[in-house]
Amino acid sequence: MNQDIQDDNILYHVKLNRKMLAGADTAVLPGDPGRVEKTARMIDPDAVFLVSNREYTSWLAELGGKKVLVCSTGIGGPSVSICIEELASLGVKNYFRIGTTGAIQDRINAADLVITTASVRLDGASTHYAPLEYPAVADFDLTTHLVQAAENLKIPFHKGITASSDTFYPGQERYDTFSGYVPRKFQGSLKEWQKLNVLNYEMESATLLTLASVFGLKAAMVASVIAIRGRDETPDDSILPLAEERLASCIREALSLLLTGEGYS
């Protein structure tokens, strides 16, 4: 992707151009298009809708006098890679991925936040950018803003390593599937990740963190827990309102610390 694209050049998938971003160099990336408006309005009650195409729905917010893009990525690494490729070409340098997650450690409770410091690369998309030996590591500065935000708001959180899988079912060793079968490669993997002190499963961070490092950008990841693996395989929708409220509050505070320069730098 040419980094010197014209200001009015609409990119194919996200359907955005530089003019529409109005100088925004920071993006918040939920997976679900349905969460974009809620997230944007939590950041800025006067946030405005930009465009929606496929899994990419975008709103523009303002905080501390600076523009912030909120853009959904859909599920999984391939759609995340497209989003980062195109947003990076439009001048976006800082990425906060937000989402929901299934925790795999007993000490983590429903609606707690998990702040990812690095990801196990169980995806395939990131291998198109760097070999598996290349680590998927979150940016230190952005991650520190997330930690400080959670502490400021007294939201329970955990920080550590995330397992980032291309699939929701076999890659996360779920047996509640159509076939009930998990390939040998993943059998026993849940217990292994628990022993290795991995905190949770999700499906996007490995691709995001790898691409950001390869491109010289900054990315961080925070997720709210809506399932505790080992207790219940199915996400608990009843906890979703609290989980989303905590997540939105944390990201707004982290953005405020970043954009105003009041936090760690």
Q: Tell me which residue of 52, 28, 32 sits closest to 40, measured CA to CA.
A: 28
229 is catalytic: yes
Name the catalytic one among 97, 145, 158, 174. Answer: 174
Name the catalytic one among 35, 55, 86, 202. Answer: 86
Name the catalytic one among 145, 158, 229, 252. Answer: 229
Beta bridge partners of 68: 61
CA distance 214 to 129: 7
CA distance 33 to 55: 6
192 is catalytic: no
Largest CA distance in the chain: 53
Q: Tell me which residue of 258, 116, 126 sits closest to 199, measured CA to CA.
A: 116
41 is catalytic: no
18 is catalytic: no
Which residues, in sequence order, are CB contacts of 5 under 8 Å at separation 6+? 11, 17, 18, 89, 90
| Enzyme catalytic residues | 13, 86, 174, 229
